[in-house]
Amino acid sequence: MYVYLDRLPSLVALLPQLFDHLHIIGSNFFCSEPTNPKHNSHGEWHTGHSLYFGVRGSAMTLWIPLQDLNEDTGGRLKLYNGKYISQIDDLLNCQVRHTGNSISNEHSILKFLNHELESGCKIENMCVGDALLFDEMLPHQAEKCRIHREALAVRLVLGDYSLDKELIQQVLKRYETVPGENGYAGEYLENLLEYGEYQFPGSAERTQIDPPTETMPVEEPELKRNLWTRVRERMQR
């Protein structure tokens, strides 16, 4: 949960200045190779909203690309911006409440809405140093990518929230027993149960937490500079 943010001290120091009542409840580092030319996108339409069980505040994602992304590179995020946002929001809430969370498109009601999602999507070019903040409920999808793409996603709650541990255990059981579910979603929930929200280095709460044991991702030999060196160089420009 903590390892990526601990390696980005400038970002961690900036976040509380940007948002009031901030809770960080996860981070993900995405490393993607170019999409198979036969595929139209890098992933399926999905929403992360239902990962945040018991949220009373606003669940948001701060998505930060580590390369410039445009029409030539691909790899941008497609966000649904159509006229049925509120109706899709209600449908997803019903699904989560009655059948449990599902990131897999195979088990999501979004698979029946692909035409509407495609026709009502919005795509923005992004540069290194940009950040995209969006509501976790908003359906989104990574478009076809033509380059090696890296991105950091910080999952936030703005305002109050609670953690429904009993429901999370039920969903974890679903991930273990229902074919076709995505394993990384279960790993995220297990970490959330173990560590809770991110505690900033130097805070009183942080001293009570054991040092994280998760190892950093190993870079391929041909990548001459590690991720954190490249990020620091970009942030200094």
**Could you tell me the two tokens for 18?**
């940007």
> In degrees to the nearest 10, what's the CA dihedral of 216, 221, 224, 228?
-10
The whole-model pTM stands at 0.80
> What are the structural domains of the chain?
3-235 (2.60.120.10)
**For the chain, percent of residues with pLDDT exceeding 90:** 30
pLDDT of residue 53: 67
Q: Indicate whether 224 pLDDT > 50.
A: no
* Interval 56-106: pLDDT, tens: 888 899 999 999 999 999 999 999 999 999 898 888 888 877 777 777 777
Identify the DSSP state of 223. Answer: -
* Among 77, 78, 55, residue whose Cα is nearest residue 164: 55
**Could you tell me the two tokens for 151?**
């991105």
**Rounded distance, CA 110 to CA 175, Å?**
18
| 3-state SS, residue 226 | coil
**Rounded distance, CA 167 to CA 101, Å?**
10
Which residue is it, tokens 């970002």?
A: 11
* Interval 159-193: pLDDT, tens: 888 888 888 888 888 888 888 777 677 888 888 88
